[in-house]
Amino acid sequence: MPAADKALLEKIFRDLKIKEDKARHGKWLEIVKNGFKGEKFGFGSAEIGYAAEGTNSWKEKALGSSWDMRVHKYTPQFLQSHWKLFHDALQLHRLTVLHDILPKYGICAG
């Protein structure tokens, strides 16, 4: 990652103080498109679309439905779906933070 992008990410993480998740997500989409406090990412402006639920959502594409059901029909494509791969990455991220990073600083959380 270019040093300028890394510095901009750090600035955003330090300065962005929005607690409500949907508002924070919306602000991140705006930042990727328009920059933050006059600075833009090295990859330029990008408009990102995101469907949290419904026909175009990753969940519906992976499971055939974006609403909760007790049983979903398995398809081989599920294993490579964005929805599954994203959730796999979330689990690995959580495990890394809780078991590798925080203990280095004497923090036990879990």
Domain count, the chain: 1
Nearest CA to 8 out of 48, 47, 41 is that of 41
Tell me whether residue 21 is in a domain: yes
> Residue ranges of the chain with pLDDT lower than 70?
66, 69
Tell me whether residue 8 is in a domain: yes
Tell me whether residue 38 is in a domain: yes
pTM: 0.64
pLDDT at 66: 67
Tell me whether residue 73 is in a domain: no
Q: Tokens in use for 23?
A: 């508002």
Tell me whether residue 110 is in a domain: no
Domain range for 23 is: 1-50
pLDDT at 70: 72
pLDDT at 72: 79
Q: What is the CA radius of gyration of the chain?
A: 18
Burial (CB count <10 Å: 0-12, 13-18, 19+), residue 2? exposed
Identity of the amino acid at 23: A
Q: Are the CB atoms for 79 and 85 separated by under 8 Å?
A: no
Tell me whether residue 99 is in a domain: no
Its sign, for the CA torsion 21, 23, 25, 28, is negative
